[in-house]
Every structure is written in C-alpha cells, then in structure tokens.
Amino acid sequence: MKQLLLLWLCLSTALAADVRSDSNTVDRKLIIDRLAQELAPRLARSRYMEANPQKVTVPGWENFPTIKYTYTLNDKATGTNKTVSVIMLNPDAQLLARWIVTACFEVKGSADTNLTKKLTDRIISQSGGQFPVRGIVYEDILPANGIHEVYCFMDGVTVKVNGVDHRSEKQSSPDQMNKALQATKADVTWVGKYARIQGTTREEYQQAGGKENVQDAAWLDISRKLYQQAWNSDRNELLIAWARVNL
C-alpha cells in the first residue's frame, strides 16, 4: 500500500511539474509574440540604413544572410545629401524579441514590461536594432551639428580603417566606401568599445563573467562569434551580459 502511495505521489509531482513547464513555455511564447508586435513598427522607424538591399557574402560570415544596403541621408545644416553603403545582419522583430525575453528571464527570472522596455529602449537608442558587419555608418553625434560624420564598422563595432577618414563630415569617395566594405582586421587601426546591437562594452562583458581576451581587435572576434551564435538561438550572450550589469 505504501509503495502504491509513493508511486502515486511521484506521478502526481511529475505531472504537476510538466504542467508548470508547459505553462511557462506558453507564457514565454505569448510574451515574445506581444513584444515582437511592439518592436516591428519601432524597428521600421529606426532602421534608417535599410535601403536598396543586395545580398552579399562577407568573409567570416559566409553562412549568414548578410545584406549590403546603400542609403542616403541629408545634412540638415547644409542641405547636402550623402550616399554610402553598409553591410548588415539585422534580426527581425521575432528574433529580437526572443533575445530580449530570454535575457530578462535569465537575469531577473521574469520578463515584465519594465524589463523588456529597458532592453528594447537600449537597443533602439544604441543601434536602431541594426548590426553593421562592414561598411560606413553616417551619424550626427560628435558633434551633433546637423552634419553626419563617417564611422566605419566591423563585426558590430566601430573601427578606424586605414584609408578612410574617421568622423569626416565629407561625402565618402567610392574608394573609401570600398575600403570600408572590404576591410579586414589588418586594415583596422583602432577598435571602439561598444558591441552592437545593444552596445555592450568590454568591461560589461567581463563583469558578467566573460573570460576571453577582449583587448584591441580581439573584441571584434568576441562580437562576431557571439552574434553568430545568437543568430540561430534564443540567447544573445552579449545582450545577457549587458542585462546582468545594468538591469
């Protein structure tokens, strides 16, 4: 009799655990779907570089759907239009929502609106939800004077590329654009601190438990490797690292 009772208790406990697990899975899916719906229009507004798409292959990114975009921006201070190209690998709203919700659950044990909003706002403000693999990004930030400056990117990080004038306010020449689009690590003379799409720093990566070398151009390897791992996963390690330090 005792054996039957123990068996019944074990089966009941296992069944309850399965029900809770199924419920958590359903709840998480609902949160992801809702967040994806909220993200879609925000991404459409923030992704100012997504124009004239053309599929391309980038060394080191051969198995990923990288796309070259050629976009035009207007300098408000002068009325001048500038056109440039950048190669990107941008997540859709569903994938981005999966990354955000997973980071919230992993770091805080929940994904309430305040948490998902903080991560969403961070991503939009840092990158517009865009991940530049190679090329030039025009930004009006240093100084914010109505004239866009040139920023080269490699593997989601701002870099200086030999032969391309960093933060130049001039229209990039075809030669400069090609150098930025075809740059290798050997062409890089300086590597910035923020790894897109959320702008994780080397220090935040280390504070969150990251063990790999992040000095100088090694940071590009970390950014590339972890973003590629995230592309077919619910987990974005650099987003989780940022969340561990800042949420």
pLDDT 10s digits, 131-153: 999 999 999 999 999 999 999 99
Mean local confidence (pLDDT), 149-163: 99
Domain span including residue 221: 2-246
Between the CA of residue 201 and those of 220, 227, 237, what are the distances in Å? 12, 14, 13
Mean pLDDT of the chain: 93
SS3 86: strand
Q: Taking each helix axis as running N to C, give the angle between helix 113-127 and helix 2-46, from 0 to 180 degrees, rounded to the nearest 10.
A: 30
pLDDT(16) > 60: no
One-letter amino acid of 57: T
Q: What's the pLDDT score for residue 25?
A: 72
Instruction: Work out the average pLDDT over 95-112.
Output: 97
Rounded CA gap, 113 and 138, in Å?
A: 32
pLDDT tens-digit profile of 210-222?
Answer: 999 999 999 999 9
What is the count of structural domains for the chain? 1
* Model confidence pLDDT, tens digit, residues 22-61: 446 778 999 999 999 999 999 999 999 999 999 999 999 9
Residue 130 has, within 13 A of its CA and on its CB side, a CA count of 28
Helix (H, G, I), strand (E, B) or coil at 241: helix
Above pLDDT 70, what percent of the chain?
A: 90
- Radius of gyration (C-alpha) of the chain in whole angstroms: 22
